[in-house]
Structure 1
Amino acid sequence: MPKASLREDILQAGLEVMSSQGYGAGVRDIVAAAEAPQGSFTNHFRSKEAFAAEVIERYFDYVKGLMAQTLGDASLAPLERIRAYLDLISGKLAAAGWARGCLIGNFSLEAPPQSEALRLQLARIFGEWRAPFAACIAEAQQAGQLDSTLAADDLADFVLAAWQGAMLRMKVEHDPRPLEQFKTVAFSSFLKPKEA
């Protein structure tokens, strides 16, 4: 009977280890967490960069599921969907003791500058990530619930960038206040529903 591939175990362990240690996590730590021999890493992945690319796609698939659950929830008003997403993420960060941020944001800071492949992958992910936020914002603007001075894509980019910054501060401080400050400012200014 052929021996089962350890590829899936290594990817899952990589997601966990890199979520806590970042891009700098060692291959030894990853294979140890997968309970796999060190040589199995190079049997399945041509480089750490290629491995990281698969880990980040796996993480983004998870994020897309969270977006579908919240930003795609047509039973909520558009701005309520955005709040639901931010609150859901806040809850997940709380469960991690405010010590983990977003793997996509972390990789954006930590990936080697010479890694053009990872840079392009992360840029594509941010573009994909922006789309459901922009759709909610555009829907709120079209319904007259939100000021339409700014383009929905621009406002969505700003929301994501500012939220990533809030998560970085939360991770450094191990404190939820930056997340709560972001939500308070966002929903009292640039995401504030217009008076009926």
Structure 2
Amino acid sequence: MAKPSLREKILDAGLRVMFRQGYNGSGIRDIVAEAEAPQGSFTNHFRSKEAFAEEVLDRYFSHVRSLAAQALEDRTLTPRERLRRYLDIITERLEADAYGRGCLIGDFSLEASSHSERLRRRLADIFVEWRQPFAACIAEAQDRGEISSAFAAEDLADFLLASWQGAILRMKVERGPAALERFKSIAFATVFRESPNRTAEERP
């Protein structure tokens, strides 16, 4: 009888280890120890640490996309409310981790992109894909007159994600939510503020 594959278990373990120790600080021995798997099982399934890290990143991004969909596809909320709901969902999850764990996409962008061209390219593609549902939501808000159309929806989506990543980094340093709440308050009072031209009848 063939032995069961340890591939998924190693990927799950790798996600936990790389969150704790970063890309450079995570060795193959650390990962297989976390997975309680023999070291040879890693090389049986993955050609290199770099290739493994790309799969870990894809697994994490799949989870992030599901969280975005949870907020941005909620038609009981206005587009502007959906944007805020996404940030609140992420804030709740960061709070559950005592503000000590951030976003693996942001962590890899800082650490791995300067050492691995393969991971840099994958991260660039992730940011393009990640932007799309936010840009669509922002465009809908602009079409409804809910927020200003002074900037392109794609540019506002990039601004939102990049600035939010910065707030998460500050949060990790401070081990508290102040940077997250400050960003949300300022962003939704300025860039994403409700259009002053919107009449009371247009509001939900």
Q: Which residue of 1 aligns with 2:202?
A: none
Matches of 1:161 and 1:112 in 2, distance apart? 16
Q: Which residue of 1 aligns with 2:31?
A: 30
Check whether the contact 1:72–1:132 (CA below 8 A) recurs between aligned residues.
Answer: no
Matches of 1:62 and 1:181 in 2, distance apart? 25
Q: Does residue 176 of the first structure (1) align with residue 177 of the second (2)?
A: yes
Detail structure 1 runs of 4+ shifted over 2 Å in the superposition. none
Q: CA RMSD in A?
A: 0.9
Whichever residue aligns with residue 19 of structure 2, its letter is S
Check whether the contact 1:70–1:84 (CA below 8 A) recurs between aligned residues.
Answer: yes
Give me the TM-score of the superposition, normalised by structure 1: 0.97
Name the stretch that deviates more: 24-33 or 160-169: 24-33
Q: Does residue 4 of the first structure (1) align with residue 7 of the second (2)?
A: no
Q: Which residue of 2 aligns with 1:59?
A: 60
Whichever residue aligns with residue 105 of structure 2, its letter is I
Alignment of 1:1-196 (within 5 A): 1-24=1-24, 25-111=26-112, 113-195=114-196, 196=199
Matches of 2:3 and 2:79 in 1, distance apart? 50
Deviation of 1:158 after TM superposition, in Å, equals: 0.5
Deviation of 1:51 after TM superposition, in Å, equals: 0.2
Can you list the C-alpha shifts for 1:18-70, whole angstroms capped at 9, x where unaligned? 12221121211111110001121111111110000000000000011101110
How many residue pairs match? The answer is 196
Q: What secondary structure, in the 3-state scheme, does the structure 1 residue paired with 2:147 have? A: coil
Give me the TM-score of the superposition, normalised by structure 2: 0.94
Percent identity between matched residues is 63
Flag structure 2 segments of 5+ consecutive residues without an equivalent.
Answer: 200-204
Q: What secondary structure, in the 3-state scheme, does the structure 2 residue paired with 1:3 have? A: coil
